[in-house]
Structure 1
Amino acid sequence: MIMKDNTKTDNEPLTPTEQDSEIQQVEAEIDKLSPRQRNLVIERYEESSQIYEGPLPPASELIKYNEAHPDAADRIIAMAEKEQEARLVNATYMLREDAKTKKRGQFMGFIIALIVLGGGMFLLSQGRALEGFTTLVGAAATLVFIFISGRYQGSDKDGDK
């Protein structure tokens, strides 16, 4: 039998030292069991500590849910289907919004580039060659830099996937 410390109730938290002491007591009791009994305890423990990932529990668990409440498995599956559909809708929405934002940014960049290039041309037509030439070269260099750096960033994103 397992000896209990009567100073604490079963639902009070134990200190690490108290936990170690109780674990040692349990291990001592398990060591007293026959190999067959020990295997049964281990099987029961392994059975109760199964971990699964994903939206649905294993089929054996769904059967148990149905035994506890009729149609529980159907409701769990329907819930998982709705969650998957909601994730898909959300992902699709996010992709569309991202594409819209990129297009808007490209359009605004194009408008700004036209304005700057137009300003450079206007300065050249007004006889301000140095200012006009500097504006045109600066705008062109900026556009080339953005184009090149955008290409490298795009290839890095693809390489990470």
Structure 2
Amino acid sequence: MAKQEIEKKISQSENNNRSDELIELEQELTTINPRIFQGVTPKKKEEILKSISVTMIQERSHSGPLPDADTLIRYNSVIPEGADRIMKMAERQQEHRMSLETKVVNSQSKQSGLGQWFGLIIGLVGIGCGTFLAYSGETTVGGIIAGGTVVSLVSVFVIGKSLQKSQN
């Protein structure tokens, strides 16, 4: 689609929106005071509404991945199937985000399992070495190594659990 055609559609959309705004403004004003335009010619009424609509401030806020319905309708009037393209883009983004979250959860689960296995291996080796040294006659050194291994592993688990609780 040529740039001029797109600009023309945007201009038409803006003109339609402007006339809709004038109608809406007129309705709001007549709701407040039903006799406000009594005795005013239609041309003068349009001039008044245009001058008011220029000074009127409209604020819209939006939260979320998708624009509101009015904006989607405007996209459709400017870009063929624009709203559908935006919806598909949001769906793909959500699928991507969910895929990443699944990968992160699986990775953390594997990492946690590996940590437990390595902790078990370190614990068994430490206690085994301490027991061997104690059996060989080095009871003090064997006790320090075996006891230190147990104290270290217990402290790692306790600190890890307290960190998990504080993060949640």
**How big is the shift at 1:38?**
6.0
Query: Which stretch shifts more, 113-122 or 149-158?
Result: 149-158
- Residue 137 of structure 1 aligns to a residue in which SS? helix
Amino acid at match of 1:40: S
The answer as to 2:84 corresponding to 1:106 is no
What does residue 107 of structure 2 align with?
97
Q: Please give the alpha-carbon distance, in whole angstroms, between the structure 1 residues aligned to 2:110 and 2:69.
A: 43
Q: Percent identity?
A: 33
Alpha-carbon distance change, 71 to 36 in structure 1, aligned in 2, over 3 angstroms: closer
Contact kept? 2:129, 2:142, Cα under 8 Å: yes
Contact kept? 2:131, 2:146, Cα under 8 Å: yes
- Residue 54 of structure 1 aligns to a residue in which SS? coil
**Gap runs ≥5 in structure 1:** 1-34
The answer as to 2:163 corresponding to 1:150 is no
1:44-101 alpha-carbon deviations (Å, 9 max, x no partner)? x42xx53423211110011011111221111110110010010000111111111111
Among 53, 59, 68, which residue is 1:40 paired with? Answer: 53
The answer as to 2:78 corresponding to 1:71 is no
Q: Greater RCO between the two (CA within 8 Å, min separation 6)? A: 2
Q: Please give the alpha-carbon distance, in whole angstroms, between the structure 1 residues aligned to 2:75 and 2:157.
A: 58
Q: CA RMSD in A?
A: 2.0
Q: Please give the alpha-carbon distance, in whole angstroms, between the structure 1 residues aligned to 2:118 and 2:51.
A: 73
Q: Please give the alpha-carbon distance, in whole angstroms, between the structure 2 residues aligned to 1:66 and 1:127.
A: 86
Among 81, 89, 92, which residue is 1:82 paired with? Answer: 92
**Gap runs ≥5 in structure 2:** 1-47
**How big is the shift at 1:40?**
1.5
The answer as to 2:135 corresponding to 1:125 is yes
Q: Please give the alpha-carbon distance, in whole angstroms, between the structure 2 residues aligned to 1:77 and 1:86.
A: 14
Among 65, 78, 97, which residue is 1:55 paired with? Answer: 65
- How many residue pairs get aligned? The number is 122
